Structure 1
Amino acid sequence: MPLYLWACVLGCATGLLCAWSEELPPRGVGGWPVADLGNHRARVVVDVQAAAVRVHIPWRRRDADPANKAIIVVDAATGQRLRNVFVASVTREAGDVVFQPTTAPGEYFIYYMPWTADYIQWNYVTHYTPPSQTADPEWLAALGLSPDGPPSDRWRELPAAKVVAIEARTQFDRFDPMEVIATKEEIETLLAAHPDAPYLVFPEDREHPIRMTDDLPVRWIELGPRQEFRGEAQPGEFYVFQLGVWAARQAIDNLEASFSDLRPTSGPPIPAGAIHRFNLSGIDWLGRPLKREVSVPQGKVQALWFGVPVPRDAKGEYRGTIVLRPANAPETHIGLKLSVRGQVLPDAGDGDLWRLSRLRWLDSTLGLDDEPTPPYTPVQAAGRAVSCLGRRLRFGTAGLPESILAWGHELLANPIEMVAEAGGKKLNWTGGNARLLRKGKGSAEWESLSRAGPLTMSVGAKMEFDGYVNFRVSIQAREECALQDLRLEIPLRREKAKYMMGLGRKGGFRPEQWDWHWDINRCNNMVWLGDVTGGLYCKLKWPEATWELYSLHASGLPRSWWNDGRGGCTVREEGDRVVFRAYSGARTMKAGETLDYWFGLLITPVKPLDPAHFSQRYYHMGPAPVEEVLKCGANIINIHHGNDLNPNINYPFLRAAELKRYVDAAHEKGVKVKIYYTVRELSTRLPELWALRSLGHEIFVPGPGGGHSWLQEHLISDYAPAWHHIFPDGDVDAAIATTGLSRWHNYYIEGLRWLLENVGIDGLYLDGIGYDREIMKRVRRVLDRTRPGCLIDFHSGNEFPFGDLRVSPACKYMEHFPYINSLWFGEGYDYNETPDYWLVE
């Protein structure tokens, strides 16, 4: 008996009313090539010869506008498209189509979401074919059909063709089972069976990830809401499952979930505190506890993903309870029964992507420590002086630098100041009590508290082993005061500020003066001033950690520095010094108000050149045979994405076995292999996609949708299309954009470790960098500790003219330079530029 019929019988037997108006055809894969026919079709059989037949297609589709898409009927025997076709009815639930068969008996393919596309990798556009009338007017008239008005019911008397299957073009394109929608009648019946429930809970295993938030899958009509989840796990496995919460009759506010211990019939329990609640809590990219608020609007579905770490010595049946507690609705108790049997999984199941055990990587803290990475030495601190490899900083009583040495060269002409102006005069900071708070191998921290007139300034700073210094300057008004300006002043020796790059200026000789203003469409809020022997990089920051690549829309403009458009920066040559000023302009501070002026400094050069660099020769034409690489004189291979070994952008796990065989063959010949693997956009082919989507905008940025047809048909909305790699057969690896900093970076770090241990890659090829220096430090530590000798090769095109971003990659990514082995700039650059430009950029 088909599952849906059995579920109906069972539901009726238990008092659940079922309303099946039709038998659903089976679903499968058709395997037709990429063309203009789309990804979905119905296979229809015509048994009799007739001038016209009708067919009812219960497609149960997700798209909101099915009537705006064409329907194409093709004779399977001849491959010819039929012209005499009339669409009598189209809804999301079903469609009725009338056509004149050309072969009878015969089979026909009815394609109901056809599209064409503009195949541009960085701007892929799908055009769904609109409906058009191709039928002979005489044929329509004979049937009493009119394209200009509502049809008569005569078509219902026509011989009926039969839908024998609903097919997707590929396995990846399939809607079933979790994207086949329930009908309105079925949902009403479900609600009637639970008349008092404000929300319903549908437990699901990992093999059926919840995909829809606006519709219920027909699978949930078949199975109904349940009060228990049952799963089977192996010893040592990180077992993942879901609960789907449907806010059926009201919005659900601030949903919480708690567990009891999972107790076996004998032996120690799995403690409740060990169970991961990915949608509700976790560990962020800096190792801080993360708590997420989950609310579900009325009528919407929210998936809650959980993970149970099963001990290696576990066996038998474990039982426990999950309690869902909305703030505005009764709690629900769900029983949890986990049967543990089979062989121990030493890797927690990570070797089998379908298990989704790698979701625990979202909460990883790998690489989060204070240890310096080679070639850096431990930080030294004494009094008010802090030093690292080749650099030394001495801070004054207010906590700001009064001396900066770069490899023996003094950079500052005078101490750095935070200047406050009020009443036409400069306020003097007094009472500074700067003191060293703590020192570890990798960093030293200090703080100070000063006063000037009605203002109090607290300075917290942290200098790290790579020469980067973070400053957290907070200014509080003890009483209301009108200020002409609050600004940061960095006075450099003129001979040490020969060159400049940043603040919307290309690299090269520094001009005598430069002005810059905040622009939300450009993330060029950083500058480097210096010479070959020493320089200083400064980046203006927010109190919240951000990493923006192209604009500041996600983070917004900083209230302190920007000050409603009054803030900006200047660079001025003043006698024997060059002064960088980051001003915020006039404002009135209320009593008790605090403004945060955060910024970072990097003292350059960051490290000595590695002599091994000059013996490294790269092959960057794809995964060619190793013998061919050796003939070219190369000893390092970079494998990009979009090929047989690494087909999916930033998810190099789907063909890991093939990649390992290639890496092993290269190692036998003494050749290193590095791969493209970063964070910025993410292939939608990853098995964890739907779990990540359930996290809202934590991992994926919001956006207008669009892009490849798969994105529009399955993700529907609320995403930003990114890179699309087009394969020779026309298939596409479509990616969507990820957020600047999130728990996905924890996963990325663990993924890197896995690749080093299980594939043996020798490092990374980065084309753009989708994370800040905090993540880069973790990347470097994992590379060095897991597989010493690994390399990071960084490439970027010239972003200054690209989209008029007015930022040089060498400036934007300078904070990463301490951890990079080699740079590969050149794409999009003007090769007729002057030598000073090439020296700096």
Structure 2
Amino acid sequence: MIFRRWFISFFTVMLVVKSCSLFAQEIPYGVPVQAWADSLGNHRAIIQVDKNTDAVEVKIEWRRRDNDADKKAIIITDENGKLVDNIFRIDINREQGDFVFQPNNGAGKYYVYYMPYKGKKNSGWWDGDYLKVENGPDNDWVKKHALSASAGVQHNLAKATVIKIESRTAFDSFYPMEVCATAAEIKELNIQTTENYLLFPEDRKYPIRMTTDLPYRWIENKHTKAFKGQAMRNEYYAFQVGVYAAKKDLEDVTVSYKGSNKITCFNTGGIDYEGKPFTKKVDVQKGKVQALWFGVDISKDQQPGPYSFTVTISPKNDLPQTVKVTLYIEDRISEDRGDSEPWRHSRLRWLNSTLGIDDKVVAPYTPLQVKDRSISCLMREVKLNEKGLPQAIEANKKSVLSAAIQFLVETDKGVEVFKPSSFRYTKQTGGKVSWVAEAANNSISLTSNGAMEFDGTMDYDIKVKAQTGVQIKDIRLEIPIAKQTAQYFMGMGLPGTYCPSLYNWKWKGPQDSYWIGSVEAGLHCELRGATYSGPMLNLYHPAPPPSWYNDNKGGFTIQSSTNEVLTTTYSGERKLNAGDEINFQFRLLITPVKKLNTEDQFTNRYYHNGNKPAPAPDDLSSGIKIINVHQGNPINPYINYPFVAVDSMKNFVDKWRKKGFKVKIYYTIRELTNQVPEIWALRSLGTEVLSPGSGGGYPWLREHYVDNYDVQWFNPINGYESCDAAVLMSGQSRWNNYYIEGLRWLVKNVDIDGLYLDDVSFDRDMLKRMRKVMDEVKPGCLIDLHSNTGFSKGPANQYTEYFPYINKLWFGESFQYDTMPPDNWMVETSGIPFGLMGDMLQGGGNPWRGMVYGMTARLPWSTEGVTCDPRDVWKIWDEFGISSAKMIGYWEKDCPVKTSNPKVLVTIYKKEGRSLISVASWADGPTNFLFQFDWKSLGVDPEKAILVAPEIKNFQHYATFNPGDPIPIEPKKGWLFYIQEKK
């Protein structure tokens, strides 16, 4: 717990703020040895009453950030925790609290809690608020002491002394960077300076937190144009400069340097998540503060001693100012650039990383092969026509298309005919092949930029340019799917289902894609061009791609004929003037993305327990191989930032590795915990990384973030004083780069075996980078993906582009297994059409139906009060040796076992001489069925054959049947049979 140790040690020194009132004193700030109950709030003043008296006045210079201090309760207790009843308010504001109270225990210490709250710490959210103003004091006591707020300070009363201001924990503290300067102090500062803006260089130990207030520290230390720090050789050294716009708005603030070319300002630009350089415009409103974070790349060869350079801050509308920076370089080398100590902020350089952005091929994929206009990858091949569009697509040697994909432009004259003029490859590597094709007629030209990658993904960007003014009736994408392939469909408003013969859809969210196909071959199509093109979760609902949407004139249709199913994405009518250009973007992914690995499914079983990640002794004999460490527990406490408890995580990984288990952790992007050491640097980037919002939520967020954040996940952590209070992230940002570097660091330094992803928001390019980084450090790392269908509204479609890089699915939360038809099971849950397999979740799943798709629940995850326990089914797996069997499902033409009842489906796990048969019913009530066997394929003598249903707890009773016997089956249930010869 490196970060926590630093934070606590930082507060072992007592530091003071001088009061400027007639109660003049120095007020130290600190943290108690043991935290008090958080219902009293996170902040208190300790005061001393020197003599027994019935009324004492105290003035606390608390210098708060909240603007409604007068609306919050004050709670006063004596040293024994007994409440003070009578409190008379003289003046309560954000700068100070002046009040009189009745000491109920005479002379001694009293504790003033001035931001108390009440709330429920539910897992997932915090429900509560600050306490309203306390009840007024007893009238007789008020009259006795002639108390009156209008009378001001009561000089005839005893005066209490403020001994100390404390925060409940070091993490809750306002000191020093959120202890506010008063309005009078700021006014005096502004009067004293002749400059329109002031610079305040700051050490990385004191991240600038406030944008609308100045810290009192700056009043004491004064503004300066020099900074001194201490660094190691090979360290990436971070520091800040606070820009305070004292007298005017500052426009377009830029930075420049002299004396070093190894400096980065993270606020003025960097490298985006696609690896492209960008700049940011930095404006500072009058009265506001902008923190500028800098990083200095110090080499191993840097000579010890002073290392100096200058940083010049240049607003467009004011004179530049220069800060002289002197770093004293120690004669020791940082082996990891400083990354193992998060307080150093060396990891900020990760924001600009390009790690994993390349064309390298990752396993199990093979380099692309190009021959003329044919491009092949693992299991799939595409033939392009002279317009650069697929003429034919094959997967598993099965035709996906019935004819070429068409991009059509229709006018009043009909569908325009374009004459191809060129086709050329612009890039050919093993990982990516790109091309451009051009075609035109007298009124319109088309430029098609296409690319195919090693995982079977194809990207298109087609530019339509008007040569003359033209009235467009429609521009559309037609994909004709071979009839035998178009068995299933999902997306564009439809759940996973059998492919409809006719369907019409208009743009509404969250949808921008669809998949159509079979278990053997299929095609996923995503319509692109929106501001965000990752999974359309509840948190991310961007406007549709404008070219396709076209002010709601666009839409989507399915039309079926004898030999094909035609999917059409249309955009509707529009007027193009001469020279107008419009781009249509789409992405295709050919499925399945890899060969189905049933051995992995039945061998690598998951242990997944949120609060207690360590398996119990009784679980170890169940055949589990992989431990998922969820967030929200002492091993991995804070959501999406697993660097806080690195020591405990490393110990956990080492312990279970020695026992033969792999360990994966929860680490994703969507929301981000408040426990991130670099959180203030991220806040200084505006809404680049952290999404804007209306604020609120857990008191820590209200007290420190204050405003402009979107509340998300909340979780109290057993054994930790600080709770996990997360906020929403802004979709694609430089945090993606940080995440990739962080992943490499975790695999290398903690030795994790992969990731558990839970409803994340990044795109397939991130998955590709993740896979590359993990394979580079530790080949064989695993990724499994979880989703809640109530959250992601059809996760199999939302996450199809992830599938080339995923090892396993856990699409189960909110899934209603007992009501889902077989087509929905197949498409949205099983993963089978994509070359993947999955596990069940909600309520333990339906174990009978799950086995038809090779699925069980995970041990020992519980939902709806049901603890998932697949161990008795796993025992049958092991007794039978299912990992070496061939899985043949009802969806395959050569399945050697069928049933007489179309509502009763069967999958066989085939071995020579003995097979395991899984049967499940989708009938509405009890029914019977007969088996139909291909005895030759089974290798079993029908005269000697017998069906044996072994006893399986909570699954089935022991039973035997002859092959021709009618077999009863209950609704929503099924059987597991051995088919074998009688002994």
Aligned to 2:670: 680
* TM-score, reference length from structure 2: 0.80
Query: CA shift at 1:435, angstroms?
Result: 2.2
Kindly provide the amino acid, as one letter, of the partner of residue 604 in structure 2.
Q
> Which among 231, 239, 242 is matched to residue 240 of structure 2?
242
> Which among 214, 219, 238 is matched to residue 212 of structure 2?
214
> Which among 780, 784, 800 is matched to residue 814 of structure 1?
800
Distance 1:206 1:552, change over 3 A: closer
| 2:482 corresponds to 1:533 | no
Task: After superposition, give the CA deviation of every residue in 1:460-505 in whole Å (9 maximum; x if it has no partner).
Answer: 0110000010111121222332222111111111221110111121
Larger-Rg structure: 2
Query: CA shift at 1:543, angstroms?
Result: 6.5
Query: CA shift at 1:65, angstroms?
Result: 1.4
Aligned to 2:42: 39
Kindly provide the amino acid, as one letter, of the partner of residue 449 in structure 2.
G
Aligned to 2:750: 759
Distance 1:455 1:223, change over 3 A: same
Whether the 8 Å contact between 1:548 and 1:740 is mirrored in structure 2 is no
Distance 1:548 1:126, change over 3 A: farther
Aligned to 1:636: 626
- The whole-number CA distance in structure 2 between the counterparts of 1:650 and 1:538 is 30
| 2:660 corresponds to 1:670 | yes
Task: After superposition, give the CA deviation of every residue in 1:669-690 in whole Å (9 maximum; x if it has no partner).
Answer: 2111111111111111111111
Mapping of residues 277-292 of structure 1, within 5 Å: 277-292=265-280
Query: CA shift at 1:452, angstroms?
Result: 4.3
Distance 1:785 1:153, change over 3 A: closer
Kindly provide the amino acid, as one letter, of the partner of residue 343 in structure 1.
R
- The whole-number CA distance in structure 2 between the counterparts of 1:134 and 1:549 is 52
| 2:437 corresponds to 1:444 | no
Kindly provide the amino acid, as one letter, of the partner of residue 126 in structure 1.
G
- The whole-number CA distance in structure 2 between the counterparts of 1:388 and 1:578 is 25
Aligned to 1:25: 27
| 2:741 corresponds to 1:750 | yes
- The whole-number CA distance in structure 2 between the counterparts of 1:178 and 1:20 is 25
Q: Which moved more, 1:529-538 or 1:84-93?
A: 84-93
Task: After superposition, give the CA deviation of every residue in 1:423-465 in whole Å (9 maximum; x if it has no partner).
Answer: 1622222234222222101011111122245222211011000
Mapping of residues 51-450 of structure 1, within 5 Å: 51-77=54-80, 79-145=81-147, 151-153=150-152, 155-194=154-193, 196-261=194-259, 271-272=260-261, 274-314=262-302, 315-423=304-412, 425-450=414-439
Whether the 8 Å contact between 1:680 and 1:738 is mirrored in structure 2 is yes
Whether the 8 Å contact between 1:535 and 1:605 is mirrored in structure 2 is yes
Distance 1:5 1:411, change over 3 A: closer
- The whole-number CA distance in structure 2 between the counterparts of 1:666 and 1:154 is 65
Query: CA shift at 1:218, angstroms?
Result: 0.3
Distance 1:161 1:116, change over 3 A: same
Aligned to 1:703: 693
Aligned partner of residue 359 in structure 2, secondary structure: coil
Whether the 8 Å contact between 2:530 and 2:543 is mirrored in structure 1 is no
Whether the 8 Å contact between 2:421 and 2:439 is mirrored in structure 1 is yes
Where do 5+ consecutive residues of structure 2 fail to align? 1-12, 829-983
Task: After superposition, give the CA deviation of every residue in 1:23-82 in whole Å (9 maximum; x if it has no partner).
Answer: 3411111343444211111111111222211110100000121112111112223x1222
Kindly provide the amino acid, as one letter, of the partner of residue 413 in structure 1.
S
> Which among 465, 478, 493 is matched to residue 504 of structure 1?
493
Task: After superposition, give the CA deviation of every residue in 1:217-255 in whole Å (9 maximum; x if it has no partner).
Answer: 000001111111111111111111000001111111111
Aligned partner of residue 420 in structure 1, secondary structure: strand
- State percent identity of aligned pairs: 42
Aligned pair count reads: 809
- The whole-number CA distance in structure 1 between the counterparts of 2:432 and 2:518 is 26
Q: Which moved more, 1:427-436 or 1:752-761?
A: 427-436
Mapping of residues 479-498 of structure 1, within 5 Å: 479-498=468-487
Aligned to 1:689: 679
> Which among 573, 578, 598 is matched to residue 591 of structure 1?
578
- The whole-number CA distance in structure 1 between the counterparts of 2:332 and 2:493 is 60
Whether the 8 Å contact between 1:449 and 1:458 is mirrored in structure 2 is yes
Task: After superposition, give the CA deviation of every residue in 1:771-809 in whole Å (9 maximum; x if it has no partner).
Answer: 11111101001111101121111111223xx4xx6x311
- The whole-number CA distance in structure 2 between the counterparts of 1:743 and 1:629 is 41
Task: After superposition, give the CA deviation of every residue in 1:660-719 in whole Å (9 maximum; x if it has no partner).
Answer: 112112111211111111111111111111111111111111111111110110000111
Whether the 8 Å contact between 1:626 and 1:665 is mirrored in structure 2 is no
Whether the 8 Å contact between 2:171 and 2:722 is mirrored in structure 1 is no
Whether the 8 Å contact between 2:784 and 2:808 is mirrored in structure 1 is yes
Question: Greater RCO between the two (CA within 8 Å, min separation 6)?
Answer: 1
Task: After superposition, give the CA deviation of every residue in 1:555-601 in whole Å (9 maximum; x if it has no partner).
Answer: 43322111112222112223322111111112222332222211100
> Which among 791, 796, 810 is matched to residue 824 of structure 1?
810
Query: CA shift at 1:336, angstroms?
Result: 1.1
Kindly provide the amino acid, as one letter, of the partner of residue 171 in structure 1.
A
Query: CA shift at 1:20, angstroms?
Result: 10
- The whole-number CA distance in structure 2 between the counterparts of 1:324 and 1:88 is 45
- The whole-number CA distance in structure 1 between the counterparts of 2:490 and 2:533 is 22
> Which among 578, 593, 596 is matched to residue 606 of structure 1?
593
Q: Which moved more, 1:547-556 or 1:224-233?
A: 547-556
- The whole-number CA distance in structure 2 between the counterparts of 1:612 and 1:741 is 33
Aligned to 2:762: 771
Q: Which moved more, 1:228-237 or 1:540-549?
A: 540-549
Q: Which moved more, 1:636-645 or 1:416-425?
A: 416-425
Aligned to 1:266: none
Aligned partner of residue 826 in structure 1, secondary structure: strand
Where do 5+ consecutive residues of structure 1 fail to align? 9-17, 262-270
Aligned partner of residue 332 in structure 2, secondary structure: coil
Aligned to 1:15: none
Aligned to 1:652: 642
Q: Which moved more, 1:821-830 or 1:205-214?
A: 821-830
Aligned to 1:523: 510
Whether the 8 Å contact between 1:384 and 1:435 is mirrored in structure 2 is no
- The whole-number CA distance in structure 2 between the counterparts of 1:58 and 1:386 is 73
Aligned partner of residue 139 in structure 1, secondary structure: helix
- The whole-number CA distance in structure 2 between the counterparts of 1:142 and 1:585 is 82
Query: CA shift at 1:727, angstroms?
Result: 2.4
- The whole-number CA distance in structure 2 between the counterparts of 1:518 and 1:507 is 18
Query: CA shift at 1:724, angstroms?
Result: 0.9
Aligned to 2:731: 740
Query: CA shift at 1:144, angstroms?
Result: 3.5
Aligned partner of residue 686 in structure 1, secondary structure: coil
Q: Which moved more, 1:453-462 or 1:23-32?
A: 23-32
Query: CA shift at 1:545, angstroms?
Result: 5.9
- The whole-number CA distance in structure 1 between the counterparts of 2:126 and 2:442 is 58
- The whole-number CA distance in structure 1 between the counterparts of 2:538 and 2:759 is 15
